[in-house]
Amino acid sequence: MSGPDHLDADRLSAPGGQPVLVVDARTWRPPMVQIQALVIGADREGALPSIVADDFDLLLTTAANAPRPWVSLDARNADAQIARLADAVKANPLAATIGAQLLRLTASLPLADALLAESLAYSTLLGGNEFAHWRAKEDVADSGPTPAEPVAVEREGDDVTLILNDPANRNAMTANMRDALYEALANALDDPSKPQVTLRGAGRCFSTGGALAEFGTAKDLAEAHAVRLLHSCARALDALGERATVRLHGACIGSGIEVATAAHRRIAAPDAWFQLPELAMGLIPGAGGTATIARAIGRHRTCWMLLSGKRVGAALACEWGLVHAVEERP
């Protein structure tokens, strides 16, 4: 690519109509002017060329078991996989490019600042047309009654267990559950005995993420941002440091993995799988995932999870560092 000038660079953006660039990872050199387009670097030969990782938002290779920050593709249909990722950007270009910019920005920020930036971006997208389009076409049913105790607390000596306690709704993260979990984590942080804390989910899975019926119901997006930060379970879980362990099983979707990844010890059952589905809704992760997951697996692989929406199994999650171990449920 010959270097665009500042005005020509406008087209390399969501408003300019070209929100994604798929480039040869071997030869790509970023332009001298800043662009908003999401840059996917492809290594179709599987050669794992020497690159400057910061020049890309996502790095794809046909080499098997490629090291970080690369994501390995099946060489038999690599072009089709790359095309699907580019199409995902084009389907929701503002959410995709804002997500990529956020991942770049927050990679060098302290966690609290990264969570602040994510929340601002998330509230912005909640007010955008891409999310409104998804909301208008989706028939989102109410998940039904929720338990009076959405987070159960058990204590034995200096060991506290917090249990997401709505198995009938697959532990969907309602506002009530989020607030109850934050309160329980805050109590553990304030407890002078400094208990060990284990977080797990009741029923068939850890959590399927945010309760869809609540998406888009906030009337004041500025206030929603403020509340999201005040009751950030990811921030509270991170503050527990080495005292916090999360045990994951079954579906861990959206906020169901975003919050959990803030724990300093993460153990997955063999049946656990992980997914970030927000882009298809015209959104990005909003429970801390662009900060917590990126710190665990790197921003490039986090970008792949965001764009692809694919499930990541327990074995790959452990290989990448999303979880620390795979163990049978106790």
For residues 175 and 224, membership in a common domain is answered with: yes
For residues 140 and 241, membership in a common domain is answered with: yes
Last residue of a domain, one of 29, 60, 91: 91
For residues 61 and 150, membership in a common domain is answered with: no
DSSP tally for the chain: helices H, then strands E: 11, 13
Average pLDDT (1-25) is 86
Domain that holds residue 50: 8-91
More confident residue, 103 or 215: 103
For residues 164 and 291, membership in a common domain is answered with: yes
Last residue of a domain, one of 30, 63, 91: 91
SS3 label, residue 303: helix
For residues 60 and 123, membership in a common domain is answered with: no
Characterize the bridge pairing of strands 196-201 and 244-248: parallel
Whichever domain contains 152, its CATH number is 3.90.226.10
* pLDDT tens-digit series, residues 154-168: 999 999 999 999 999
Rounded to two decimals, the pTM is 0.95
The span from the first CA to the last CA of the chain, in angstroms, equals 55
> In this structure, are residues 58 and 38 in contact, taking their beta carbons and an 8 Å threshold?
yes
**Phi and psi of 173, rounded to 5°?**
-85, 90
For residues 254 and 142, membership in a common domain is answered with: yes
Q: What pLDDT, on a 0 to 100 scale, did the predictor assign at position 1?
A: 44
Q: What pLDDT, on a 0 to 100 scale, did the predictor assign at position 141?
A: 66
Sign of CA dihedral 15, 17, 21, 22: positive
Total domains present in the chain = 2
> In this structure, are residues 284 and 278 in contact, taking their beta carbons and an 8 Å threshold?
yes
Last residue of a domain, one of 91, 118, 133: 91
Could you give the dihedral angle defined by the CA atoms of residues 15, 101, 117 and 185, in that order, rounded to the nearest 10 degrees? 130
